Chains A and B, each alone.
Chain A
Amino acid sequence: MLRALLSDDLPRNRFLSAVLLLILFGLATAPFLVSGASAINTAAKILIFILLVASYDILLGYTGIVSFAHTMFFGIGGYGVGLAMHFMGPTWGAAGLGAALALVFGVTLAALIGLLSLRVKAIFFAMITLAVATVFAVLVSQLSDYTGGEDGRSFRVPEVLRPTYKVLAEPLFGTPVTGRIVAYYLVFVAVLALFLATLRMVNSPFGRVLQAIRENEYRAEALGYRVVKYRTIATCLSAGLAVLAGALYALWLRYTGPDTTLSFNIMLNILLMVVIGGMGTLYGAVIGGTLFILAENYLQKLLGVAATQVEGIPLIGHILHPDRWLLILGVLFVLSVYFFPTGIVGKLRQSAKA
């Protein structure tokens, strides 16, 4: 049963399994485990980024394609749902229509980019996607009549998902069960289902072809697989999942804007999460995403404490400034590309084999 659910791709390391179970347990019980709005926000963000990073891993880890346009698809999902709800009112129909349109648009765009540029080398593709994504972000901020520009769009969600909606009259385990909790579990179930579906996909014959292309493009071609076709499909699938992640994020935040979906920083974060977690293992996305979002939220606080300790020392004080947490992660990233190219998950699996 478990084997079927995980598509035969078990963690293959006892420690890794324990961590994954811990994360799963934590995310499943987050609203009741820790109280407070910030904790549940962090948990929801972790969930959405796990999906987003997993979808990126299909490209980077499984197929060996470096794309910098992933936030563009994330943004398309966010704006699709956001704008539909903003203009059509807070109904499920609007959300569904927005998500569907965004999915069609995103996948079409991915197919176009894929067909146009996947014939070229990895380096070319990376540069082209970077250019396209930047232009998309600029366009979104310039078409402010529709998108709200830099301010983005706030909107109302269906009543069942609002914090004011009471599901149970009495609090459960000391936590009042409101629409917020319904929204959280909506995100949780959706992410879990999509993650398992992704796992199924990469462990199918199709996923094996992708890995063959990653390992040796010419050999895969020589075996009769049409490399461009497979790559384009992988790009479309990955884009579609990113669109859905964006849609969920917008639904959770009740807001969509450039900073939450389109900024280049998010693209960098996704890259860091995939590489640190472990490329080509979807479990890496879980570990990377969780670690990273936790670090983002709590490393900054930790650094704040450290910074007050060394306030007098000039440069050290600046380096340990809470806003500089990305510096530490950047160094960690470079080091991990050198020394742990397979990331945390790959390293753990290796140690299990040895």
Chain B
Amino acid sequence: MVPLTFFLKVMMRPTGIVALRALPQSKMRTALRYVPPTTLIGAISYPLHHLSGNRAETVYDRKTVKSTADGIRNLFEWVTIKTIGKPRLYGALLKINKTHRGELQTAVTSFPFAVMYGSGDSTITAVYLVNGEELSKGPYTMKDLERAAWGITRLGSRESVVSVENVETGKAEISEASSAETSYAFPFKGFEVQGRGTLQSVVDWRSGIGDYSSAKRIVMFYPEDTVKVRGELRTATVGGETLVLAP
């Protein structure tokens, strides 16, 4: 029997840029080119919490400070994205205010971000595979998740506003395969890949969202178009498209 799991496929249009800091608390001089899974969880967490009237952003657990997005990460078995268009990293200059030895000063710094802006239509499609068991234990329903998906307002920080153009729901078929063709990002571990793409080290969201300083990281392959992947694969078919899941 083929295992089935609910999915949300969310197609988004950026308003021009996507600001994704590679490391929180860094000096903001590095950025990610592609949207990492942690950002996708954070992006849906805000509208989902909005539905239940939960305005909390930060959880203080003794000396640990965490994002409330951590509380919903178990609702998902896997999250990934497909990017149409080639993001370009660009560092705009900003004037900032800072304190130096107790004195306020102004300084100039750069704030890099990925530019998703060009003559073609750049789109980002996120897929969330839902953990039905976890969903049934909590306060949210599949309809809430669907509404939350329509309510994603931004990916990353600051000016990274997006509009959700389409949300598709259904059941994904999970199976095993020796090869697959995919346009979605997948963990680059022991697979042979044929095609163009970018490798990016990202926080493994399954180990927790909150304290990134010691978080486990995974290397993801973000295809430029469609790539062929070979190996011992676990795949999911989502609305006619294939995802390669973590081994």
B is a partner of A = no
